[in-house]
Structure 1
Amino acid sequence: MKHLLIVILFIMSFDWLNAQNPTIIYVGDPMCSWCYGFAPEISKVREALPDHEFKLVLGGLRPHGTETNADIGDFLREHWEEIHKRTGQPFKYDILEDKTMVYDTEPACRAVVAARNLNPEIELEFFKAVQDAFYAENRNMLDIETYLRIADEFELDSDQYRQTFDSEECKYETAQEFQLSSEMGIRGFPSVVVRHNGQLFLASNGFRTAEDLLRTIKNIQKEGN
């Protein structure tokens, strides 16, 4: 079975894309409900591939979105219930009763970029913490206090985190990640890309179990040798 080879014409400042070491690239958005459902699966993949580097690309599900729960709340509830039934991930639904809540995912993505800039080692764990804050705790994703609380849990300096989060540089870097996701041809979240022998291959475009995904990764690497 042949797998889609990804060719990126505009690599921008992502130097790690040119590296040769085996890498799993996870493309998602912390406010993407299927990414939340996928959280246990990608954790299993990481555990199964300790010799691989893992990179996170923030894809931007609804960056700068203006829709509110009054517009899409019913759709979200059905979606969340389906994901809970399929994955077992816990959802809290109270936030859907707030009809004024704006579904803008840019701040949540930028929150992860800010954390990565301060400590690159925590990007995937911070991503998961933001997911939990929204789906399991119903925290306000447009309020920086939500992210400051998480930053404190990761022992990041609050003032430094706030300054980084609010900076134009961080906003620009986040927008660049959205563009990278588009350049990679990503059309759905969560997606997983495998870098093997310096080339990028699409392993999944949407939710998959760890077992299924690991099988695909193995096939990609076997075909590429």
Structure 2
Amino acid sequence: MKLVYVFDAYCGWSHGFSATLREVVSRHPELPVEVVSGGLFTGPRRVPIREFGHVQGANAEIAELTGAAFGEGYERLIADGTFVMDSEAAARGIAALRQAAPDRAAELAIALQRAFYVDGRSLSDAATYRKIAETARLDADAVVAAFESPDAPYTAAGDFHRAAELGVTGFPTLLVVDADSATPLAYGHATADEIDQRLAALRTP
């Protein structure tokens, strides 16, 4: 049995789920966690953030419901509306971090979202991954090399395919996978206590 966390690093609701994810992982060290990028802003959706007029309102709702912080760095980054959220680049980034420390994938996904939503760092910039890797005491050169590798887009595409294969259509989604069955534990928002209740119900014969 393992947890599968399907998220998008540029999804505000995924950022809002970070505290719950951290708590669930802390409570269940016996459960491995697979982190999969979903690909929210790809293809024709890869446009300046001003095209998504609902962002600020949604962020306010996320902050109120989850307590997630949206920092001054983030506000500065998106202020003129020209910033482009590119989920393919973010997927390459989490894959590079995940490769460096597979057993810390959930922690690194949370750090990635903090880099954007609090510090205002672009997830298309190799320097962002260097900083996260250094802070996490990983091999920063190896992480950047993996992010910039010619194979990285195929890795990102593999994540998007994995998310679709799991039947995930929105982010974040937390699943528990046992053998060939995948059961949703949370979609969009849930508390750690709610997830514990759902896990306990699944484990009850």
TM-score, scaled to structure 2: 0.90
Moved over 6 A (4+): none
Deviation at 1:200, TM superposition (A): 2.0
Matches within 5 A, 1:91-102: 91-92=70-71, 93-102=75-84
Q: Distance in 2 between matches of 1:192 and 1:161?
A: 26
Aligned-pair Cα RMSD in Å: 1.7
The residue aligned with 1:127 is: 109
Q: Distance in 1 between matches of 2:203 and 2:176?
A: 9
- 2:8 pairs with 1:67: no
The residue aligned with 1:182 is: 164
Deviation at 1:198, TM superposition (A): 4.7
Is the 1:69–1:98 contact (alpha carbons within 8 Å) kept by the matching residues of 2? no
Which of residues 18, 27, 34 is equivalent to 1:48? 27
The residue aligned with 1:211 is: 193
Q: Secondary structure at the match of 1:103?
A: coil
- 2:8 pairs with 1:29: yes
- Matched residue count: 201
Is the 1:37–1:89 contact (alpha carbons within 8 Å) kept by the matching residues of 2? yes
Deviation at 1:184, TM superposition (A): 0.9
Q: Distance in 2 between matches of 1:158 and 1:43?
A: 23
The unaligned stretches of length 5 or more in structure 2 are none
Deviation at 1:47, TM superposition (A): 2.0
User: Structure 1, residues 66-123: CA drift from partner, whole Å, max 9, x if none?
Assistant: 2212211x31111111101111111122322132111212212211101111221222
Amino acid at match of 2:61: E
The residue aligned with 1:15 is: none
Amino acid at match of 1:104: D
Q: Distance in 2 between matches of 1:147 and 1:47?
A: 24
Q: Distance in 2 between matches of 1:40 and 1:216?
A: 18
Q: Distance in 1 between matches of 2:23 and 2:100?
A: 26
Q: Percent identity, aligned pairs only?
A: 28
Which of residues 77, 82, 102 is equivalent to 2:56? 77
Q: Distance in 1 between matches of 2:124 and 2:33?
A: 28
